[in-house]
Amino acid sequence: MDITIHSSFLPHTDPEASLAFYRDVLEFEVRLDVGYEQMRWITVGPAGQPSTAIVLHPASVGRDLSDEEQEFLLALIAKGSYFGVNLSTDDLDAVFARVEASGADIVQEPIEQDYGLRDAAFRDPAGNLIRIQQNKEQQA
């Protein structure tokens, strides 16, 4: 059996800011951009990997939430405690420099972890925690 990851979902709170971050900073391709009323779903993915994508979706779609629950959900997203994704790259330092130059909220600069990976962490415009790991083949 061959199973792969097709799409991961991350909430957005500002579709334009999220689009600019994933497209312009991380250099992901925009695969789909669909709007309905005041909502917008944006599918992005790394160039050369057409079968792997992240769907940026409105934070409250499909949820019947009270105002208090909505505020709580948005607070969790902003802290990076609700969703996140781990990415990898051949050049962690170059990617980190682009992310840092964009003004993104840096959580952790590139470091060697005790468990054998070199990685960095930051938040996207909505607050989702993004970790980028150096590909093991490229680690010295």
Q: Is residue 1 part of a domain?
A: no
- Residue 54 sits in a domain whose CATH number is 3.10.180.10
- For the whole model, what pTM was predicted? 0.89
Q: Is residue 73 part of a domain?
A: yes
Give the C-alpha separation, 29 to 97, whole Å. Answer: 20
Per DSSP, the residues of the chain read: ------EEEEEES-HHHHHHIIIIIS-PEEEEEEEETTEEEEEEE-TT-TT-EEEEEETTTT----HHHHHHHHHHHHHT-S-EEEEEES-HHHHHHHHHHTT-EEEEEEEE-TTS-EEEEEE-TT--EEEEEE-GGG--
Q: Is residue 91 part of a domain?
A: yes
The predicted pLDDT at position 138 comes to 56
Report whether pLDDT(60) > 80. Answer: no
58's tokens: 């409105």
Average pLDDT over residues 58-82: 83
| Structural domains counted in the chain | 1
60's tokens: 């409250």
Q: Which domain holds residue 31?
A: 7-58+67-138
Give the pLDDT band (50/70/90) at residue 61.
low
Q: What's the pLDDT tens digit per position in 81-106? A: 888 899 999 999 999 999 999 999 99
Q: What's the pLDDT tens digit per position in 3-27? A: 888 899 999 999 999 999 999 999 9
Q: Is residue 2 part of a domain?
A: no
The predicted pLDDT at position 2 comes to 82
